[in-house]
């Protein structure tokens, strides 16, 4: 098996809400893997070399525009990687970068990379918060949403999780996030890999780990079960 390489895009900026611990935790689960922190000034490593997983976390609205500019020259490459099955995990509003556009309150639009068929609409004075409980494959996903945007687009056949509690892409949607091949985009924030041991194992298996063993597995599973109980009872 080739060495596992994980590229974290622009961690100095795309690091709101503790999301960067998704990668710190993954690193504890993958002690032999190479983790690459690609700063904003650098050319992403996925352009020139094989990367097992590309990760990008949430960022400020101003930064979204800069990241779109930064990644625009690599649009074709990103599309190719998604088509080829490279694993990607984009959390929070980072998924919007790959969408068609982000509409501001004044109606103006920021053009995205148009790799995935979604668009987002901002409402900066009304932040939306909710807990999320959803079904994914044979297990459940727990998490939190906190966002200025609502997202639109048909993801009925390409969702990350189907909502049991909390909203999907928008208030009228039951389908959360976007999944295509091994690309997963989700508005869930914070340390979702720590919160969701089953999902983390799924990611590890995708990455080629035969029998994944999680870091702090007993505690993480105990916390997951407790949270599932709480979310189901709310």
The span from the CA of 124 to the CA of 90, in Å, is: 21
Rank residues 43 and 124 by Cβ distance to other proteins and give the closer one: 124
Q: How far is the CB of 145 from other proteins (least distance, A)?
A: 9
The span from the CA of 135 to the CA of 162, in Å, is: 5
**Please, which residues bridge with residue 30 across strands?**
none
Q: How far is the CB of 62 from other proteins (least distance, A)?
A: 6
Q: CA nearest 166: which of 231, 119, 210, 211?
A: 231
Residue 221: CB atoms within 10 Å = 13
Rank residues 43 and 84 by Cβ distance to other proteins and give the closer one: 43
Q: How far is the CB of 230 from other proteins (least distance, A)?
A: 4
Rank residues 60 and 154 by Cβ distance to other proteins and give the closer one: 60
Q: How far is the CB of 104 from other proteins (least distance, A)?
A: 13
For every residue of 150-169, DSSP letters joined together read EEES--TTS-SEEEEES-SS
Rank residues 75 and 146 by Cβ distance to other proteins and give the closer one: 146
Residue ranges that bind other proteins, judged by CB under 8 A? 12-13, 16-21, 24-25, 28, 40-41, 60-63, 66, 124-125, 127, 129, 131, 144, 146, 148, 189-191, 194-195, 215-216, 219-220, 222-223, 226-227, 230-231, 234
Rank residues 155 and 163 by Cβ distance to other proteins and give the closer one: 163
Q: How far is the CB of 219 from other proteins (least distance, A)?
A: 5
Torsion of Cα atoms, 116 then 191 then 225 then 88, to 10° = 30
């Amino acid at each position: 098996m080739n060495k596992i390489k994980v590229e974290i895009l622009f961690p100095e900026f795309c690091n709101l809400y503790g999301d960067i611990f998704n990668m710190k935790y993954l690193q504890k689960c993958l002690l032999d893997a190479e983790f690459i922190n690609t700063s904003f000034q650098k050319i992403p490593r996925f352009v020139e070399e094989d990367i097992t997983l590309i990760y990008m976390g949430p960022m400020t609205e101003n930064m979204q525009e800069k990241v779109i500019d930064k990644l625009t020259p690599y649009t074709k490459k990103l599309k190719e990687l998604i088509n080829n099955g490279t694993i990607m995990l984009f959390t929070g509003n980072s998924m919007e970068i790959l969408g068609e556009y982000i509409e501001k309150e004044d109606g103006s639009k920021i053009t995205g990379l148009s790799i995935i068929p979604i668009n987002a609409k901002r409402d900066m004075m009304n932040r939306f918060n909710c807990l999320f409980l959803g079904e994914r494959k044979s297990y459940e996903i727990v998490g939190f949403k906190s966002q200025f945007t609502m997202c639109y687009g048909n993801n009925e056949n390409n969702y990350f999780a189907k909502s049991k509690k909390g909203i999907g892409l928008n208030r009228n949607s039951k389908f959360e996030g976007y999944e295509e091949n091994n690309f997963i985009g989700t508005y869930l924030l914070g340390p979702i890999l720590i919160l969701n041991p089953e999902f983390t194992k799924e990611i590890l298996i995708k990455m080629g780990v035969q029998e994944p063993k999680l870091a702090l597995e007993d505690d993480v599973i105990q916390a997951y079960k407790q949270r599932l109980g709480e979310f189901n009872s709310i």
